[in-house]
Amino acid sequence: MSSALRDTIGSVDVDEIADRLYALPPEEFTAARDQEAKQADSAYLRKAVTALRKPTAAAHAVNRLVRERTGDIDALLSLGDEMRVAMGSDPAEVRRLTDKRRTLIAGLLDADLSAAVQEQVKATLEAATADPDLGAAVRSGRLVKSLHYAGFGNLPDLSGAVATRSRKPAPSPDLTSARDRVLNLSGIADDAQRRYEIAVKNATEARQVLEAAEAERAEAHKVAKAAHADAEKARRELGRLERS
């Protein structure tokens, strides 16, 4: 058997084993992986299985969503396709889709997870909508660690984020150029959305400060008016005493 053919067969086996392993709770992963490696029928497969890494809590949570809430994950990825199409041509539609994405992701978060893990899951699901490769990584159900997309076309490194990845031909120059443009526009839109949310927060806080100041002004005016009345009453009483 040629090396290329052996690697192909081994890759299929590794994918099947990875699917089983990354469906397990993290605490069961290592023992199950070691057992799979012992049962491997070739040195190549044994090495490949042994190299599979235990997922983080956030990666496991996302992998579980892929298996248990497949329809919702697919809907989120489809939403990402819509957002990329709208980028640069329909800001209102981008805002609408961004709000829809926020609602959909909120419905996928597990309240039993810690706040830190929930944030990592949220960041990973948001990243899945930014680029097809990130979406495919999440959809594989074999994430090893969470993903974070900072915008401006800066994609996270997927080399150590997914347990196994399918080989595919390099994209054409036109596709690469189009993808870069989409990523750049996506980054601009994400940054604008973040600035908008900060501005809304700042405006809300400013209104609260203004309302508090207005309440303080009204109270001070009331106190001052009462004090002036008391002072005037005291002056009249003093005048009466001086005349008597």
Question: Are 43 and 62 part of one and the same domain?
Answer: no
Is residue 2 pLDDT above 90, yes or no?
no
- Provide, rounded to the nearest whole percent, the portion of the chain with pLDDT above 70: 82
Question: Are 25 and 100 part of one and the same domain?
Answer: no
Across-strand partners of 162?
A: 143
Question: Are 78 and 60 part of one and the same domain?
Answer: yes
Range of the domain at 22: 1-54
- Confirm whether 148 is domain-assigned: yes
Mean pLDDT of 92-98: 93
What is the tens place of the pLDDT at every residue in 31-53? 999 999 999 988 989 999 999 99
pLDDT tier at 234, thresholds 50, 70, 90: confident
Question: Are 24 and 135 part of one and the same domain?
Answer: no
Question: Are 161 and 209 part of one and the same domain?
Answer: yes
- Confirm whether 8 is domain-assigned: yes
Question: Are 23 and 69 part of one and the same domain?
Answer: no
- Confirm whether 219 is domain-assigned: no
Please tell me the distance from the alpha carbon of residue 54 to that of residue 29, in angstroms, as a whole number: 6
What is the tens place of the pLDDT at every residue in 12-21? 578 899 999 9
- Confirm whether 222 is domain-assigned: no
The total number of structural domains that make up the chain:
2
Question: Are 61 and 179 part of one and the same domain?
Answer: yes
